[in-house]
Structure 1
Amino acid sequence: MIQQEPDVLPSGWVKAPTARRGNIISAIKELVTKTFVIAELEVRKLRHDPTDLVVRSVQPSLWLLIFGQVFARLREIPTGSLPYLDFMAAGILAQSVLYIAIFTGGMTLIWERDLGIVHKFLASPTPRVAMVLGKALACGVRCLSQVLVIYAIATFLGVKLNFHPIAIFQVLLLVMLGAGCFCIFSLIIGCLAKTRERMTGIGQMLTMPLFFASNAIYPVAIMPGWLKFISHLNPLTYQVDALRGTMLLNGSSVYGFGFDLMILAFTLTVLAIIGGRLYPRVAM
C-alpha cells in the first residue's frame, strides 16, 4: 500500500530549504542588478564633465616625469634588479587610484545629500549595500583612464611593461578593486563628516599617510619597524605589490598575486558592509 504525501508538510520539511534558496538567489540577483544601476547613474556623470579625467591625470604625470626622474638619479633607494622608474610606475598608478577614490566618494555623497538625491535613494527599496557598491564600481570605471595615462608615460620613459592580455586584465582588476576599497572608505568618512569642508580636510589628512605608509615609492624592507607594521595593515601596500608583479615585464610580487587579491577583496567586503550600515546616517 502506497502512503500518500500529506497536503500540509511539517515545519522545516523538504520544501522550506527550497524556498530559502530561492530567496537567497533572488536577493543576490537584486543586489547585483541594483549595483549596476547605481554604477550606470554614476558613470553618466562623466558625459557632463569628461575633462575631469584629464585633470586627474596631471598629478601622476608630474610624479613620473619629475619626481621619478630625480629619484632615479639619486640611486639611494634599493629596488633590487628593477630600475627605480619601473619600481615607481606601479606605485604611481596605485597613488592615482587612491587620490581619485578618496576625493570622489565622500565629496560626491555630501553633494548628493545637499541636492536631496540621497533622500530619494533611501526612500527606494534599493539595498544600502548596493548603493555603496554601485558607487565603488563607478569609481573603478573612472580610474581605468589612469591605466592608459600611466602606461603611456611609463612607455615614453622606457619602463618595461608587460602587455600580455592576461597581465593587462589583472591590472584592470586590481585598479577596480583598489578604487572600490578607497571609494567606500571615503564614503564612510563622508557619512561621518557630513560637510564638504570637513570631508576635504580629512581626505587631505589621510591620502598622504596612506601613500607614504605603503611600498609605492620605496620597499617595505627599508622602513622602520613601526612603519612596517602600519604598511602591512594598509590595503594600498597589497595593491602596489600585485601591480608591480603584473604590469612590469621583470616585476615580481612579494606576497603573491592571489594573497594580494584576497586582501583587497576581503577589505572591499568589510568596508561595503560598514558603508551600507552607515549610509543612511548622511541624511540625518
Structure 2
Amino acid sequence: MSPTSVAPLDVWAEPRRSRPMTLLSRVGTLCLVELEKLRHDRSELLTRSIQPVLWLLIFGTTFSRIRAIPSGGVPYLDFLAPGIIAQSALFVAIFYGIQIIWERDAGVLAKLLVTPTPRAALVTGKAFAAGVRASVQAVVVTVVAVLMGVSIIPNPLRWLGVIVVVVLAAAFFACLSVIIAGLVLKRDRLMGIGQAITMPLFFGSNALYPVDVMPGWVRAIAVVNPLSYEVSALRGLLLGTPTNLWLDLGVLAGAAGVAIAVASALLGRLAR
C-alpha cells in the first residue's frame, strides 16, 4: 500500500456515530481504498492471475485426461475450478498482514489507534478490503475457467453467493495474517510463515481431491480447514454439487468472527 492510498486520518475520527455505524463506515472506506488501488494498478490482477490459470491449464487438463481422481460425476476440470478460485483468494489474503506492518513502520497505525475508531472496526475494514481484492481475483479466474469450458450455472443469485463466500474466506485468512503479524512483528518472518502454511492449507483441503480419498490424518485437517468449507460452498453454488451451504457459510462466518476478535486484540502489540 502506498502512502497516497491511505485514507485521511480525519475520516476515521467521528466519535458521535454508534459503534455499528462506525464499523460499517470504516469497512466501506477501506473497501473503497482497495478498489481505488486496483484501479490505479490493474497489472497486479494480471500477474496474480498467472498462477491459478496455470493450475487450470496444466494440472486441470492433465488430470482430466488421466482420470485418476474421482470427481463425483463431474469433469475433473469443473471439479477443480472452484478449488483454484479458493486458492487464488487464499494467496491474495494470506499476506495481508504485511500492509499492517508497513503501516506500523510508516507511523500510520499508531495514528489510527489513537482515533475513536474501535480496533475491531479497523481490523474488520482491513479484512473485508482483502475480500474485495480476492473477489476481483475470483471473477478473473472464473472467466478463465468458463473460457476453458467449465460448466458454471448461469444464475446471478448463485454468483452473488460466490462473492459472499470468497469475501468471508478472504476476511478469515487476512485476519490470520494480521494475527501472525501481531505475533512475529517482522515482515520477513511473516513472509516465511505465510509461505510455509499456504501449501498445507491448500493441499489439506478438498480443493484438488474429495475428502473421501484422503488418508485419515489429512481428512482430520480438512475437516477443521476453513478452505474446505469455502471450496464446498463454491462447488455447490457454481456446479450444483451437493453441499450443506448453511454449514459452509456458518463455519466461514464464525471463523472470520473469531479471527477478527483475535487480530483486534493483537493490533495494539504491533504499534508498540
What is the TM-score with the length of structure 1 in the denominator?
Answer: 0.86
Which residue number corresponds to residue 133 of structure 1? 124
Structure 1, unaligned stretches of length 5 or more?
1-24
Structure 2, unaligned stretches of length 5 or more?
1-16
2:51 match: secondary structure? helix
- Cα deviation, 1:224-259, whole Å, max 9, x if unaligned, reads 1111111110000000000001012xx3133x1111
Q: Give the deviation of 1:63 after TM superposition.
A: 0.4
The 5-angstrom pairing of residues 104-253 of structure 1 reads 105-248=96-239, 251-253=240-242
Which residue number corresponds to residue 61 of structure 2? 69
Bigger mean CA offset, 169-178 vs 209-218: 169-178
CA contact (8 A) 1:42 1:135 kept: no
- 1:46 matched to 2:21? The reply is no
Q: CA RMSD in A?
A: 1.4
**Amino acid in structure 2 at the alignment position of 1:28:** P
CA contact (8 A) 1:91 1:217 kept: yes
- Cα deviation, 1:79-111, whole Å, max 9, x if unaligned, reads 1211100000000000000000002x1111111
**Amino acid in structure 2 at the alignment position of 1:280:** G
**Amino acid in structure 1 at the alignment position of 2:212:** A
Identity of aligned residues (%): 47
In 2 relative to 1, CA 110–253 (structure 1 residues): closer, same or farther, beyond 3 Å? farther
User: Using the alignment, how far apart are the partners of 1:158 and 1:50 within structure 2?
Assistant: 26
2:97 match: secondary structure? helix
Which residue number corresponds to residue 91 of structure 2? 99
User: Using the alignment, how far apart are the partners of 1:198 and 1:225 within structure 2?
Assistant: 31
Which residue number corresponds to residue 4 of structure 2? none
Q: Among residues 28, 31, 50, which one is paired with 1:58 in the alignment?
A: 50
Which residue number corresponds to residue 6 of structure 1? none
Bigger mean CA offset, 116-125 vs 43-52: 43-52
- Look at both structures and tell me which one has the larger radius of gyration over its CA atoms: 1
- Cα deviation, 1:199-242, whole Å, max 9, x if unaligned, reads 11000001000000000000000011111111110000000000
**Amino acid in structure 2 at the alignment position of 1:74:** I
